[in-house]
């Protein structure tokens, strides 16, 4: 395996790095202070610049206007975009739209692609993915209560969801609902596209995350589906294939997330080192003279480098040997990288003292909004259990 940056993408990565540093980062403070709704004109301006620079949609296939990169290549891009909290959004590569585009591209009918995928890929609308329910364990999503019952050529959906990210202002939701309650657990549910203006779609609230309800794309909503009627043509893929499609979405999605987290690590590492190198703790000496700070810097460098190699290795395995052969690696990176990132954010805050918990640096934003990394797409404990079981089975 060769993990050097391929010559074919090196110029692209350099261009993206410059764009993030020169165009995106200077807008961060304004967007994060104003909120995503009020800052929409500025965000649209940035997206326009991104399109004009030929950088839009790095994860999308070329036939829908993207750059058509491979998984490893997009992983490298995702790391660079992750250096700013706005990076993925400005480039049209943000969750949950990126995952929704992927499954619409793979499983959508021509009519679904025209109505939903086209505008989504051009950044004209947004979407959300509605699976988790407050009453049931999201870590075992086969236990869903939301149902979609056939009534002639329609489905009637009833259910209660929460943590539907980015539902506020989205044009449609992809809803996971039980269509065959008598089937085996992984063959019970289907994915169904629900336009958010359908009667019975009720956004109850944006859930406060550590005090911040967020808004627009940067939000997580509680939603009621009450007697929501949508045509059968809105089903994505075959009936009862919801979990099969979800699996398609999660494999590459975890690589994208992990590389985004490594981008965050690099940003936080830079911020921490700059502070350590310049903060005087007496008349002459800076924090850099203290062994504890030196150890944190060295440990963080080793952990970020190890994390990056693990993720690239997993991406390479998916690309060359298929997802089934990369399952252990994907579980390992999911909890390992999330923890490397969150421990580093905490240490960087500590080295900044009181400044670290203010919004004058980007650290507090990461502390609040990235804590979920250890919970979504499979909590740490579930990934550890899955990998450990497979390893131990070889010893039994």
Ligand X SMILES: Cc1cc2nc3c(=O)[nH]c(=O)nc-3n(C[C@H](O)[C@H](O)[C@H](O)COP(=O)(O)OP(=O)(O)OC[C@H]3O[C@@H](n4cnc5c(N)ncnc54)[C@H](O)[C@@H]3O)c2cc1C
Q: Which residues bind ligand X (CB under 6 A)?
A: 96, 129-132, 137-139, 163-165, 220, 372, 375-376, 379, 381-382, 385
Smallest gap from Cβ 22 to ligand X, in A, equals 29
Question: Which is nearer to ligand X, 125 or 382 (by Cβ)?
Answer: 382
Question: Which is nearer to ligand X, 200 or 372 (by Cβ)?
Answer: 372
Question: Which is nearer to ligand X, 218 or 273 (by Cβ)?
Answer: 218
Length of the chain: 396
Smallest gap from Cβ 380 to ligand X, in A, equals 7
The tokens for 226 are 């009450």
The tokens for 281 are 């703790």
Smallest gap from Cβ 299 to ligand X, in A, equals 25
Question: Which is nearer to ligand X, 50 or 330 (by Cβ)?
Answer: 330
Question: Which is nearer to ligand X, 316 or 366 (by Cβ)?
Answer: 366
CB 187 within 8 A of CB 246: no
Q: Which of 80, 74, 72 is nearest to 62 (CA)?
A: 74
Question: Which is nearer to ligand X, 187 or 375 (by Cβ)?
Answer: 375
Question: Which is nearer to ligand X, 50 or 159 (by Cβ)?
Answer: 159
Residue with smallest beta-carbon separation from ligand X: 138
Smallest gap from Cβ 141 to ligand X, in A, equals 7
The tally of CA atoms less than 13 A away on the side-chain side of residue 146 is 30
Question: Which is nearer to ligand X, 338 or 348 (by Cβ)?
Answer: 338
- For 229, the enclosing helix (H) or strand (E) is strand 220-231
Question: Which is nearer to ligand X, 42 or 244 (by Cβ)?
Answer: 244
């Amino acid at each position: 395996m060769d993990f050097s940056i391929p010559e074919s993408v090196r110029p692209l990565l350099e261009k993206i790095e410059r764009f993030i540093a020169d165009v995106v980062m200077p807008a961060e403070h304004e967007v994060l202070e104003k909120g995503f709704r009020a800052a929409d004109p500025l965000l649209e301006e940035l997206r326009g610049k991104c399109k004009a620079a030929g950088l839009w949609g790095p994860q999308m296939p070329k036939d829908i206007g993207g750059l058509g990169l491979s998984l490893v290549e997009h992983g490298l891009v995702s790391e660079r975009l992750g250096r700013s909290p706005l990076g993925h959004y400005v480039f049209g590569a943000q969750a949950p739209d990126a995952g929704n585009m992927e499954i619409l591209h793979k499983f959508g009918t021509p009519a679904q692609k025209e109505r939903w995928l086209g505008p989504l890929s051009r950044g004209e609308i947004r979407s959300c993915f509605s699976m988790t329910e407050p009453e049931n364990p999201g870590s075992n999503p086969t236990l869903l209560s939301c149902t979609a019952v056939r009534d002639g050529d329609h489905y009637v959906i009833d259910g209660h969801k929460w943590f539907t990210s980015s539902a506020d202002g989205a044009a449609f939701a992809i809803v996971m609902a039980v269509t065959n309650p008598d089937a085996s657990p992984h063959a019970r549910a289907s994915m169904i596209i629900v336009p958010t203006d359908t009667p019975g779609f009720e956004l109850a609230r944006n859930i406060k995350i550590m005090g911040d309800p967020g808004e627009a794309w940067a939000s997580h909503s509680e939603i009621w589906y009450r007697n929501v009627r949508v045509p059968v043509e809105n089903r994505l893929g075959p009936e009862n294939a919801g979990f099969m499609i979800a699996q398609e979405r999660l494999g590459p999605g975890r690589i994208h997330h992990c590389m985004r987290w490594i981008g965050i690590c690099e940003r936080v590492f830079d911020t921490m080192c700059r502070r350590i190198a310049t903060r005087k703790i007496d008349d002459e000496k800076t924090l850099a003279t203290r062994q504890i700070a030196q150890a944190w810097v060295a440990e963080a460098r080793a952990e970020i480098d190890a994390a990056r190699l693990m993720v690239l290795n997993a991406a390479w395995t998916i690309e060359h040997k298929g997802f089934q052969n990369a399952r252990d690696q994907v579980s390992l990176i999911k909890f390992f990288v999330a923890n490397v990132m969150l421990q580093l954010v905490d240490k960087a805050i500590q080295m900044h003292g009181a400044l670290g918990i203010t919004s004058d640096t980007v650290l507090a934003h990461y502390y609040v909004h990235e804590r979920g990394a250890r919970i979504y797409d499979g909590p740490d404990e579930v990934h550890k259990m899955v990998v450990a079981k497979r390893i131990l089975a070889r010893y039994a």
